[in-house]
Amino acid sequence: MSLKLRLIRIAVISTTAWLFFSYVLVPLKIQGKSMEPTYHDGGFGFCWRQRFLFSPPDYGDVIAIRFSGRSVVLLKRVVALAGDTVEFRRGSLYVNGRQVGEPYVKYRLDWNLPPRTVKPGRVYVIGDNRGVPMSRHHFGQVNMQRILGGVL
């Protein structure tokens, strides 16, 4: 194979890989403990950008959220959808007045949060690690436009 064909082949493969890992399956380096035990600090994952192309996020989905530009992405679990009322009572999650079973939550503190209704065009998200004070968590309503995709 000639040098010119090799260079063209390398350019095509490089461009394809760059497009695929930038717009289809984005690699994620997990930093922080907010999603433990589901995702561990220092772990690695992928964000599937097309996950919500034809249907919106649903209860229990783990999503990647653009927090600041493209470099900071948060992983959170969807616990309530637009129109739902969400609250915490003594560490338990309630959606629309019903307690939600959360088998993925291993550690809980006595969180209390008064009821709030999720606005249209938003979902309510929170991390799986509830064993830290509420003040140390990023959670709440997220605009659907900030969702990058689903986490694999």
One pLDDT digit (tens) per residue for the chain, 152 residues: 788 999 999 999 999 999 998 888 888 888 888 898 888 998 888 998 889 988 999 999 999 998 776 667 889 999 999 999 999 999 999 999 999 999 999 888 999 999 999 999 999 999 999 888 888 888 999 999 999 999 98
Q: What is the pTM of this model?
A: 0.86
Alpha-carbon 49 to chain mean position: 11
Domain boundaries, the chain: 25-151
Three-state DSSP state, 20: helix
- Give the N- to C-terminal CA distance of the chain in Å, as an integer: 38
* pLDDT at residue 138 in the model: 84
> What CA–CA distance (Å, rounded) separates 102 from 82?
20
Three-state DSSP state, 140: strand
* pLDDT at residue 97 in the model: 96
- Residue 28 neighbours by CB distance under 10 Å: 17
25-151 fold: Umud Fragment, subunit A (2.10.109)
> What CA–CA distance (Å, rounded) separates 150 from 76?
10
